Structure 1
Protein backbone atom coordinates (compact mmCIF):
# COMPACT_ATOMS: atom_id res chain seq x y z
CA UNK A 1 0.00 0.00 0.00
CA UNK A 2 1.15 3.50 -0.71
CA UNK A 3 0.21 6.51 1.40
CA UNK A 4 0.48 9.94 -0.09
CA UNK A 5 -0.73 13.38 0.90
CA UNK A 6 -1.89 15.64 -1.89
CA UNK A 7 -0.95 19.25 -2.26
CA UNK A 8 -3.71 21.73 -1.56
CA UNK A 9 -5.91 22.44 -4.56
CA UNK A 10 -8.38 25.16 -5.42
CA UNK A 11 -11.82 25.09 -3.85
CA UNK A 12 -13.06 23.39 -7.02
CA UNK A 13 -11.16 20.21 -6.11
CA UNK A 14 -13.51 17.55 -4.74
CA UNK A 15 -13.08 14.00 -3.62
CA UNK A 16 -14.77 11.39 -5.76
CA UNK A 17 -17.67 11.04 -3.32
CA UNK A 18 -18.38 14.77 -3.30
CA UNK A 19 -17.97 15.14 -7.04
CA UNK A 20 -20.40 12.34 -7.83
CA UNK A 21 -22.89 13.61 -5.25
CA UNK A 22 -22.82 17.05 -6.88
CA UNK A 23 -23.37 15.45 -10.28
CA UNK A 24 -26.35 13.49 -8.98
CA UNK A 25 -27.84 16.61 -7.43
CA UNK A 26 -27.65 18.36 -10.79
CA UNK A 27 -29.45 15.72 -12.81
CA UNK A 28 -33.14 15.67 -13.62
CA UNK A 29 -33.40 11.88 -13.37
CA UNK A 30 -35.73 9.96 -11.09
CA UNK A 31 -35.72 10.75 -7.39
CA UNK A 32 -33.46 8.73 -5.06
CA UNK A 33 -36.51 7.01 -3.57
CA UNK A 34 -37.74 5.94 -6.99
CA UNK A 35 -34.31 4.72 -8.00
CA UNK A 36 -33.98 2.75 -4.79
CA UNK A 37 -37.36 1.11 -5.34
CA UNK A 38 -36.50 0.13 -8.89
CA UNK A 39 -33.79 -2.39 -8.00
CA UNK A 40 -31.96 -3.62 -4.92
CA UNK A 41 -28.58 -2.04 -4.27
CA UNK A 42 -25.62 -4.18 -5.32
CA UNK A 43 -23.26 -5.49 -2.66
CA UNK A 44 -19.69 -4.25 -2.31
CA UNK A 45 -16.60 -5.69 -0.66
CA UNK A 46 -14.68 -3.42 1.74
CA UNK A 47 -11.94 -5.87 2.71
CA UNK A 48 -9.36 -3.98 0.62
CA UNK A 49 -9.87 -0.72 2.51
CA UNK A 50 -6.37 0.47 3.47
CA UNK A 51 -5.26 1.72 6.85
CA UNK A 52 -5.62 5.48 7.17
CA UNK A 53 -2.83 7.77 8.43
CA UNK A 54 -2.15 7.93 12.15
CA UNK A 55 -4.20 10.64 13.83
CA UNK A 56 -6.75 10.89 11.01
CA UNK A 57 -10.43 11.25 11.96
CA UNK A 58 -12.15 7.97 11.09
CA UNK A 59 -15.52 9.72 10.77
CA UNK A 60 -14.17 12.02 8.04
CA UNK A 61 -12.20 9.46 6.06
CA UNK A 62 -14.04 7.44 3.41
CA UNK A 63 -13.16 4.05 1.99
CA UNK A 64 -14.35 4.27 -1.62
CA UNK A 65 -15.07 1.24 -3.79
CA UNK A 66 -15.63 1.49 -7.54
CA UNK A 67 -16.55 -1.43 -9.79
CA UNK A 68 -16.52 -1.00 -13.55
CA UNK A 69 -16.45 -2.67 -16.91
CA UNK A 70 -16.37 -1.22 -20.39
CA UNK A 71 -14.33 -1.21 -23.58
CA UNK A 72 -10.61 -0.69 -24.07
CA UNK A 73 -8.46 0.08 -27.11
CA UNK A 74 -4.70 -0.38 -26.85
CA UNK A 75 -2.91 0.49 -30.06
CA UNK A 76 -4.89 -1.23 -32.81
CA UNK A 77 -6.52 -3.89 -30.63
CA UNK A 78 -9.99 -3.36 -29.13
CA UNK A 79 -11.46 -5.25 -26.20
CA UNK A 80 -15.24 -4.70 -26.58
CA UNK A 81 -15.83 -5.62 -22.93
CA UNK A 82 -13.05 -6.12 -20.42
CA UNK A 83 -13.33 -8.17 -17.23
CA UNK A 84 -14.92 -6.32 -14.28
CA UNK A 85 -12.44 -4.18 -12.38
CA UNK A 86 -12.71 -3.11 -8.74
CA UNK A 87 -10.71 -0.19 -7.36
CA UNK A 88 -10.53 0.55 -3.63
CA UNK A 89 -8.93 3.59 -2.04
CA UNK A 90 -9.39 5.97 0.89
CA UNK A 91 -9.46 9.73 1.13
CA UNK A 92 -9.99 12.35 3.78
CA UNK A 93 -8.40 15.26 5.67
CA UNK A 94 -4.96 14.86 7.15
CA UNK A 95 -4.52 15.90 10.79
CA UNK A 96 -2.97 19.16 9.58
CA UNK A 97 -5.93 19.94 7.32
CA UNK A 98 -4.51 19.04 3.90
CA UNK A 99 -6.15 16.47 1.63
CA UNK A 100 -4.91 12.92 1.84
CA UNK A 101 -5.36 9.69 -0.08
CA UNK A 102 -4.29 6.10 0.49
CA UNK A 103 -4.32 3.48 -2.25
CA UNK A 104 -6.08 0.21 -1.47
CA UNK A 105 -6.17 -2.31 -4.31
CA UNK A 106 -7.12 -3.03 -7.89
CA UNK A 107 -8.72 -6.40 -8.59
CA UNK A 108 -9.60 -7.75 -12.02
CA UNK A 109 -9.27 -10.81 -14.17
CA UNK A 110 -7.79 -11.42 -17.63
CA UNK A 111 -9.65 -10.43 -20.79
CA UNK A 112 -9.11 -12.32 -24.04
CA UNK A 113 -7.74 -10.18 -26.87
CA UNK A 114 -9.61 -10.69 -30.15
CA UNK A 115 -7.29 -12.16 -32.75
CA UNK A 116 -4.90 -13.67 -30.23
CA UNK A 117 -1.14 -13.16 -30.39
CA UNK A 118 -0.83 -12.93 -34.18
CA UNK A 119 -4.05 -11.07 -35.01
CA UNK A 120 -5.65 -14.14 -36.61
CA UNK A 121 -9.49 -13.94 -36.35
CA UNK A 122 -9.47 -17.48 -34.91
CA UNK A 123 -6.40 -16.88 -32.75
CA UNK A 124 -8.29 -15.98 -29.59
CA UNK A 125 -9.94 -19.40 -29.65
CA UNK A 126 -6.69 -21.36 -29.80
CA UNK A 127 -5.12 -22.40 -26.47
CA UNK A 128 -1.58 -21.75 -27.72
CA UNK A 129 -2.08 -18.65 -29.85
CA UNK A 130 -4.64 -17.09 -27.51
CA UNK A 131 -3.75 -13.85 -25.73
CA UNK A 132 -5.16 -12.05 -22.70
CA UNK A 133 -4.38 -8.84 -20.84
CA UNK A 134 -4.93 -8.20 -17.14
CA UNK A 135 -4.73 -4.74 -15.52
CA UNK A 136 -2.55 -4.05 -12.50
CA UNK A 137 -2.04 -0.89 -10.46
CA UNK A 138 0.67 1.28 -12.00
CA UNK A 139 1.83 2.96 -8.78
CA UNK A 140 0.18 6.40 -8.88
CA UNK A 141 -3.35 7.71 -8.43
CA UNK A 142 -5.19 10.93 -7.62
CA UNK A 143 -8.95 10.65 -7.26
CA UNK A 144 -9.70 14.25 -6.32
CA UNK A 145 -12.02 15.60 -9.02
CA UNK A 146 -12.31 19.02 -10.62
CA UNK A 147 -15.60 19.40 -12.47
CA UNK A 148 -16.03 16.45 -14.82
CA UNK A 149 -12.32 15.57 -14.58
CA UNK A 150 -12.22 12.59 -12.25
CA UNK A 151 -8.53 12.55 -11.42
CA UNK A 152 -6.08 9.95 -12.66
CA UNK A 153 -4.75 6.49 -12.05
CA UNK A 154 -2.00 4.50 -13.69
CA UNK A 155 -2.22 0.95 -15.01
CA UNK A 156 0.03 -1.79 -16.26
CA UNK A 157 -1.38 -4.51 -18.48
CA UNK A 158 0.13 -7.94 -17.96
CA UNK A 159 0.12 -9.82 -21.26
CA UNK A 160 -0.74 -13.51 -20.83
CA UNK A 161 -0.03 -16.22 -23.39
CA UNK A 162 1.54 -19.70 -23.33
CA UNK A 163 4.13 -18.37 -25.79
CA UNK A 164 5.17 -15.34 -23.70
CA UNK A 165 7.14 -15.12 -20.43
CA UNK A 166 5.32 -14.13 -17.25
CA UNK A 167 7.10 -10.78 -17.15
CA UNK A 168 5.53 -9.52 -20.38
CA UNK A 169 3.90 -6.17 -19.49
CA UNK A 170 2.51 -3.12 -21.29
CA UNK A 171 3.41 -0.11 -19.13
CA UNK A 172 6.26 -1.69 -17.21
CA UNK A 173 8.66 0.10 -14.87
CA UNK A 174 8.43 3.88 -14.78
CA UNK A 175 6.18 4.14 -17.84
CA UNK A 176 2.69 2.93 -16.84
CA UNK A 177 -0.42 3.82 -18.81
CA UNK A 178 -1.81 7.05 -17.33
CA UNK A 179 -5.61 7.25 -17.41
CA UNK A 180 -7.35 10.59 -16.82
CA UNK A 181 -11.06 9.88 -16.74
CA UNK A 182 -13.70 12.45 -17.60
CA UNK A 183 -17.31 11.89 -16.54
CA UNK A 184 -19.71 11.36 -19.44
CA UNK A 185 -23.29 12.53 -18.88
CA UNK A 186 -24.99 12.71 -15.51
CA UNK A 187 -24.52 10.40 -12.57
CA UNK A 188 -27.47 8.42 -11.26
CA UNK A 189 -28.13 7.52 -7.64
CA UNK A 190 -29.07 3.84 -7.46
CA UNK A 191 -29.42 3.75 -3.70
CA UNK A 192 -29.32 6.31 -0.93
CA UNK A 193 -28.67 3.94 1.95
CA UNK A 194 -26.19 2.47 1.28
CA UNK A 195 -24.98 5.20 -1.08
CA UNK A 196 -24.56 3.75 -4.59
CA UNK A 197 -23.98 5.97 -7.61
CA UNK A 198 -23.83 4.89 -11.25
CA UNK A 199 -21.84 6.89 -13.76
CA UNK A 200 -19.99 6.66 -17.07
CA UNK A 201 -16.50 7.94 -17.77
CA UNK A 202 -13.98 7.86 -20.60
CA UNK A 203 -10.50 8.84 -21.71
CA UNK A 204 -9.37 8.91 -25.32
CA UNK A 205 -6.14 10.85 -24.98
CA UNK A 206 -3.64 8.58 -23.24
CA UNK A 207 -0.48 7.06 -24.68
CA UNK A 208 0.46 3.38 -24.54
CA UNK A 209 4.12 2.30 -24.50
CA UNK A 210 5.53 -0.82 -26.11
CA UNK A 211 5.30 -4.09 -24.22
CA UNK A 212 8.47 -5.10 -22.39
CA UNK A 213 9.85 -8.33 -21.01
CA UNK A 214 8.14 -10.41 -23.69
CA UNK A 215 11.08 -12.46 -24.95
CA UNK A 216 11.73 -13.35 -28.59
CA UNK A 217 8.12 -12.66 -29.58
CA UNK A 218 8.12 -9.16 -28.11
CA UNK A 219 8.59 -7.47 -31.48
CA UNK A 220 5.80 -9.56 -33.00
CA UNK A 221 3.49 -8.63 -30.13
CA UNK A 222 4.22 -4.91 -30.42
CA UNK A 223 3.85 -4.97 -34.19
CA UNK A 224 0.50 -6.75 -33.97
CA UNK A 225 -0.73 -4.34 -31.29
CA UNK A 226 0.67 -1.28 -33.03
CA UNK A 227 2.72 -0.30 -29.96
CA UNK A 228 3.98 2.10 -28.88
CA UNK A 229 0.90 4.20 -29.66
CA UNK A 230 0.91 7.87 -28.70
CA UNK A 231 -2.66 8.41 -29.92
CA UNK A 232 -5.74 6.39 -30.85
CA UNK A 233 -6.09 4.63 -27.49
CA UNK A 234 -9.31 4.80 -25.48
CA UNK A 235 -11.17 3.46 -22.48
CA UNK A 236 -14.86 3.79 -21.59
CA UNK A 237 -16.23 2.80 -18.21
CA UNK A 238 -19.68 2.01 -16.87
CA UNK A 239 -19.17 2.17 -13.12
CA UNK A 240 -20.88 1.76 -9.78
CA UNK A 241 -19.45 3.60 -6.80
CA UNK A 242 -20.01 3.49 -3.05
CA UNK A 243 -18.24 4.45 0.17
CA UNK A 244 -18.23 4.02 3.93
CA UNK A 245 -16.60 6.22 6.50
CA UNK A 246 -14.00 4.44 8.58
CA UNK A 247 -16.08 4.67 11.75
CA UNK A 248 -18.67 2.47 9.91
CA UNK A 249 -16.17 -0.25 9.02
CA UNK A 250 -15.69 -3.26 11.27
CA UNK A 251 -12.57 -3.10 13.48
CA UNK A 252 -9.49 -4.95 12.25
Structure 2
Protein backbone atom coordinates (compact mmCIF):
# COMPACT_ATOMS: atom_id res chain seq x y z
CA UNK A 1 0.00 0.00 0.00
CA UNK A 2 1.40 3.46 -0.88
CA UNK A 3 2.34 5.58 2.11
CA UNK A 4 1.06 9.16 2.01
CA UNK A 5 3.09 12.10 3.21
CA UNK A 6 0.73 12.46 6.16
CA UNK A 7 1.79 8.97 7.31
CA UNK A 8 5.48 9.85 7.11
CA UNK A 9 6.29 12.96 9.22
CA UNK A 10 8.68 15.23 7.38
CA UNK A 11 8.54 13.36 4.06
CA UNK A 12 6.53 16.15 2.45
CA UNK A 13 9.34 18.56 3.41
CA UNK A 14 11.87 16.48 1.47
CA UNK A 15 9.49 15.65 -1.39
CA UNK A 16 8.36 19.22 -2.10
CA UNK A 17 11.89 20.64 -2.07
CA UNK A 18 13.20 17.94 -4.39
CA UNK A 19 10.34 18.34 -6.85
CA UNK A 20 10.68 22.11 -6.91
CA UNK A 21 14.43 21.97 -7.45
CA UNK A 22 14.96 19.17 -9.90
CA UNK A 23 11.77 17.28 -10.74
CA UNK A 24 11.46 13.55 -11.19
CA UNK A 25 15.18 13.02 -11.86
CA UNK A 26 16.04 14.49 -8.47
CA UNK A 27 13.48 12.29 -6.79
CA UNK A 28 15.16 9.26 -8.27
CA UNK A 29 18.47 10.39 -6.83
CA UNK A 30 16.99 11.11 -3.43
CA UNK A 31 15.34 7.71 -3.35
CA UNK A 32 18.78 6.14 -3.45
CA UNK A 33 19.51 7.90 -0.18
CA UNK A 34 16.89 5.73 1.51
CA UNK A 35 19.11 2.67 1.10
CA UNK A 36 20.61 1.17 4.28
CA UNK A 37 24.11 2.07 3.09
CA UNK A 38 23.36 5.77 3.65
CA UNK A 39 21.63 5.33 6.99
CA UNK A 40 21.90 8.15 9.49
CA UNK A 41 24.00 6.98 12.42
CA UNK A 42 24.16 8.20 16.00
CA UNK A 43 27.04 10.67 16.37
CA UNK A 44 30.19 9.27 17.94
CA UNK A 45 32.82 11.32 19.74
CA UNK A 46 36.13 12.21 18.12
CA UNK A 47 37.25 14.64 20.80
CA UNK A 48 40.55 14.32 22.64
CA UNK A 49 41.62 14.56 26.25
CA UNK A 50 42.98 17.80 27.65
CA UNK A 51 46.15 15.84 28.47
CA UNK A 52 46.81 15.08 24.78
CA UNK A 53 49.60 17.33 23.45
CA UNK A 54 50.02 15.50 20.14
CA UNK A 55 48.59 18.45 18.14
CA UNK A 56 51.01 21.08 19.44
CA UNK A 57 52.15 23.06 16.37
CA UNK A 58 55.76 23.83 15.40
CA UNK A 59 57.09 27.05 16.88
CA UNK A 60 57.91 30.15 14.80
CA UNK A 61 61.54 30.58 13.81
CA UNK A 62 63.57 32.00 16.68
CA UNK A 63 60.93 31.33 19.37
CA UNK A 64 62.25 30.37 22.82
CA UNK A 65 60.77 26.94 23.74
CA UNK A 66 61.10 27.71 27.46
CA UNK A 67 58.81 30.75 27.05
CA UNK A 68 56.30 29.29 24.61
CA UNK A 69 53.58 27.01 25.87
CA UNK A 70 51.21 24.63 24.15
CA UNK A 71 47.65 24.96 25.46
CA UNK A 72 44.97 22.29 25.17
CA UNK A 73 41.46 23.67 25.67
CA UNK A 74 38.33 21.54 26.13
CA UNK A 75 34.81 23.00 26.17
CA UNK A 76 31.16 21.92 26.11
CA UNK A 77 29.40 24.73 24.21
CA UNK A 78 25.71 25.58 24.31
CA UNK A 79 24.67 27.01 20.94
CA UNK A 80 21.53 28.91 19.96
CA UNK A 81 21.29 30.02 16.32
CA UNK A 82 18.02 30.93 14.66
CA UNK A 83 15.43 28.38 15.79
CA UNK A 84 17.98 25.80 16.99
CA UNK A 85 19.25 25.37 20.55
CA UNK A 86 21.62 22.50 21.35
CA UNK A 87 24.37 21.57 23.77
CA UNK A 88 27.20 20.58 21.45
CA UNK A 89 29.43 17.59 21.97
CA UNK A 90 32.75 18.50 23.64
CA UNK A 91 35.34 20.23 21.48
CA UNK A 92 39.11 20.24 22.01
CA UNK A 93 41.38 22.94 20.61
CA UNK A 94 45.18 23.11 20.67
CA UNK A 95 47.33 26.16 20.05
CA UNK A 96 50.67 27.64 21.06
CA UNK A 97 51.44 31.11 22.37
CA UNK A 98 54.43 33.07 23.58
CA UNK A 99 56.74 36.01 22.82
CA UNK A 100 58.12 36.45 19.31
CA UNK A 101 61.79 37.41 18.85
CA UNK A 102 60.78 41.09 18.50
CA UNK A 103 58.97 40.96 21.87
CA UNK A 104 55.39 40.99 20.54
CA UNK A 105 52.85 38.33 21.46
CA UNK A 106 52.62 35.40 19.08
CA UNK A 107 50.17 32.55 18.51
CA UNK A 108 50.16 29.46 16.32
CA UNK A 109 47.04 27.38 15.64
CA UNK A 110 47.26 23.63 16.23
CA UNK A 111 44.06 21.66 15.72
CA UNK A 112 40.39 21.29 16.65
CA UNK A 113 38.51 18.06 17.29
CA UNK A 114 34.73 17.78 17.62
CA UNK A 115 31.83 15.42 17.07
CA UNK A 116 28.31 15.77 15.62
CA UNK A 117 25.34 16.60 17.86
CA UNK A 118 21.77 15.64 16.97
CA UNK A 119 19.37 18.55 16.42
CA UNK A 120 16.01 17.94 18.13
CA UNK A 121 13.20 17.43 15.62
CA UNK A 122 15.55 16.29 12.89
CA UNK A 123 15.44 17.57 9.33
CA UNK A 124 11.76 18.68 9.26
CA UNK A 125 11.73 20.00 12.84
CA UNK A 126 8.86 17.71 13.84
CA UNK A 127 10.40 14.24 13.61
CA UNK A 128 9.41 11.94 16.44
CA UNK A 129 12.50 9.82 15.78
CA UNK A 130 15.17 12.41 15.07
CA UNK A 131 17.85 9.72 14.69
CA UNK A 132 16.15 7.87 11.83
CA UNK A 133 18.21 7.43 8.69
CA UNK A 134 16.03 9.82 6.67
CA UNK A 135 14.84 12.44 9.16
CA UNK A 136 17.83 12.80 11.47
CA UNK A 137 19.86 16.02 11.40
CA UNK A 138 23.13 16.72 13.17
CA UNK A 139 25.44 19.71 13.53
CA UNK A 140 29.23 19.63 13.88
CA UNK A 141 31.48 22.63 14.61
CA UNK A 142 34.71 23.03 12.63
CA UNK A 143 37.55 25.52 12.86
CA UNK A 144 36.86 28.57 10.69
CA UNK A 145 40.45 29.66 10.09
CA UNK A 146 40.70 32.62 12.48
CA UNK A 147 41.53 32.75 16.20
CA UNK A 148 43.08 35.08 18.76
CA UNK A 149 43.11 33.58 22.22
CA UNK A 150 44.51 36.76 23.75
CA UNK A 151 41.36 38.70 22.81
CA UNK A 152 38.75 35.90 22.66
CA UNK A 153 38.23 35.95 18.90
CA UNK A 154 37.30 32.64 17.28
CA UNK A 155 35.74 31.66 13.94
CA UNK A 156 33.79 28.45 13.41
CA UNK A 157 31.78 26.74 10.70
CA UNK A 158 28.90 24.37 11.46
CA UNK A 159 28.47 21.40 9.14
CA UNK A 160 24.94 19.99 8.82
CA UNK A 161 24.69 16.22 8.46
CA UNK A 162 21.85 14.20 6.93
CA UNK A 163 21.83 11.53 4.16
CA UNK A 164 19.83 13.86 1.90
CA UNK A 165 22.23 16.78 2.29
CA UNK A 166 25.56 17.09 0.48
CA UNK A 167 28.62 16.97 2.74
CA UNK A 168 29.29 20.58 1.79
CA UNK A 169 26.13 21.82 3.57
CA UNK A 170 27.47 24.23 6.18
CA UNK A 171 26.47 27.26 8.21
CA UNK A 172 29.24 29.75 7.44
CA UNK A 173 30.54 27.83 4.43
CA UNK A 174 31.82 30.87 2.53
CA UNK A 175 32.42 33.16 5.50
CA UNK A 176 32.73 31.53 8.94
CA UNK A 177 30.78 32.62 12.00
CA UNK A 178 32.93 35.09 13.96
CA UNK A 179 32.70 35.06 17.75
CA UNK A 180 34.02 37.65 20.20
CA UNK A 181 34.03 35.65 23.42
CA UNK A 182 33.72 37.38 26.76
CA UNK A 183 34.49 35.87 30.15
CA UNK A 184 31.49 35.20 32.39
CA UNK A 185 33.64 35.48 35.51
CA UNK A 186 37.15 34.95 36.85
CA UNK A 187 39.18 31.87 36.00
CA UNK A 188 39.57 29.12 38.62
CA UNK A 189 42.66 26.99 39.13
CA UNK A 190 41.52 23.39 39.63
CA UNK A 191 45.05 22.00 39.86
CA UNK A 192 48.57 23.40 40.00
CA UNK A 193 50.43 20.24 38.99
CA UNK A 194 49.47 19.49 36.33
CA UNK A 195 48.04 22.96 35.63
CA UNK A 196 44.30 22.92 35.00
CA UNK A 197 42.28 26.12 34.75
CA UNK A 198 38.51 26.46 34.46
CA UNK A 199 36.65 29.40 32.91
CA UNK A 200 33.33 30.31 31.31
CA UNK A 201 32.79 32.45 28.21
CA UNK A 202 29.96 33.57 25.94
CA UNK A 203 29.02 35.70 22.95
CA UNK A 204 25.48 36.96 22.32
CA UNK A 205 26.27 39.49 19.59
CA UNK A 206 27.25 37.38 16.57
CA UNK A 207 25.33 37.02 13.33
CA UNK A 208 24.36 33.56 12.08
CA UNK A 209 24.38 33.25 8.26
CA UNK A 210 22.25 30.93 6.16
CA UNK A 211 23.40 27.37 5.52
CA UNK A 212 25.09 27.16 2.11
CA UNK A 213 25.95 24.46 -0.46
CA UNK A 214 23.00 22.35 0.69
CA UNK A 215 21.55 21.35 -2.68
CA UNK A 216 17.80 21.35 -3.43
CA UNK A 217 16.88 21.35 0.28
CA UNK A 218 18.66 24.65 0.99
CA UNK A 219 15.54 26.83 1.10
CA UNK A 220 13.36 24.57 3.29
CA UNK A 221 16.35 23.79 5.51
CA UNK A 222 17.12 27.43 6.22
CA UNK A 223 13.46 28.17 6.94
CA UNK A 224 13.38 25.22 9.32
CA UNK A 225 16.54 26.46 11.10
CA UNK A 226 15.49 30.12 11.13
CA UNK A 227 18.56 31.24 9.19
CA UNK A 228 20.00 33.71 8.53
CA UNK A 229 19.57 35.25 11.98
CA UNK A 230 21.02 38.69 12.65
CA UNK A 231 20.25 38.69 16.37
CA UNK A 232 19.08 36.48 19.22
CA UNK A 233 22.03 34.08 18.85
CA UNK A 234 24.17 32.81 21.72
CA UNK A 235 27.19 30.61 22.33
CA UNK A 236 28.23 29.91 25.90
CA UNK A 237 30.36 27.26 27.49
CA UNK A 238 32.28 26.05 30.48
CA UNK A 239 35.84 25.18 29.54
CA UNK A 240 39.09 23.94 31.01
CA UNK A 241 42.62 24.17 29.68
CA UNK A 242 46.06 22.93 30.54
CA UNK A 243 49.49 23.75 29.15
CA UNK A 244 53.14 22.77 28.93
CA UNK A 245 56.13 24.80 27.83
CA UNK A 246 57.76 23.47 24.68
CA UNK A 247 60.93 22.42 26.47
CA UNK A 248 58.80 20.00 28.53
CA UNK A 249 56.81 18.43 25.75
CA UNK A 250 57.49 14.74 25.08
CA UNK A 251 59.81 14.14 22.15
CA UNK A 252 60.83 17.75 21.80
Structures share fold, TM-score greater than 0.5: yes
The CA deviation at 1:124 is: 1.6
Q: Residues 62 and 101 of structure 2 are in contact (CA less than 8 Å); yes or no, is this contact kept in structure 1?
A: yes
Report the alpha carbon displacement of residue 121 of structure 1 after superposing the two structures with TM: 4.6
Rounded to whole Å, the distance in 2 between the matches of 1:214 and 1:135 is 16
Report 1:98-177 matches (<5 A). Answer: 98-145=104-151, 151-173=152-174, 175-177=175-177
Deviation per CA, 1:187-216, whole angstroms, max 9, x where unpaired?
A: 221100111011111111111111111000
With the length of structure 2 as denominator, give the TM-score of the two structures.
0.78
Shift of 1:71: 1.2
Q: Deviations over 1:173-199 (max 9, x none)?
A: 2x1001111111222211001110111
**Once the 2 structures are TM-superposed, how far is the Cα of residue 123 of structure 1 from its aligned partner?**
4.8
Residue 83 of structure 2: aligned partner: 76
Question: Gaps spanning 5+ residues in structure 1: where?
Answer: 1-41, 146-150
Match of 1:45 among 26, 29, 52: 52
Q: Which residue of 1 aligns with 2:246?
A: 246
What displacement does 1:43 show? 5.3
* Unaligned 5+ runs, structure 2: 1-48
Q: 1:87 to 1:55 in 2, by over 3 A?
A: same
- Say which structure is richer in strand: 1
Partners of 1:136 and 1:155 within 8 A in 2: yes
CA distance in 2, matches of 1:124, 1:113: 8
Provide, for residues 141-177 of structure 1, a one-character-per-residue CA deviation record: whole Å limited to 9, x for no partner.
11114xxxxx11100001100110111011012x100
1:101-150, Cα deviation, whole Å (9 max, x unpaired) = 100111000000111111115252322110001111101111114xxxxx
Looking at structure 1, the residues matched to 119 and 187 of structure 2 have their Cα atoms a distance apart, in angstroms, of 30
State the 1:54 CA deviation.
1.2
Q: Shift of the alpha carbon at 1:236?
A: 1.0
Is residue 50–residue 241 contact of structure 2 (8 Å, CA) maintained in 1? Answer: no
Partner of 2:187, secondary structure, is strand
Quote the residue 1:231 is aligned against. 231
Select the structure of larger CA radius of gyration: 2
Check conservation: 2:96, 2:109, Cα contact below 8 A.
yes
1:190-229 superposed matches below 5 A? 190-229=190-229
Normalised by the length of structure 1, the TM-score is: 0.78
Name the residue aligned to 2:179: 179
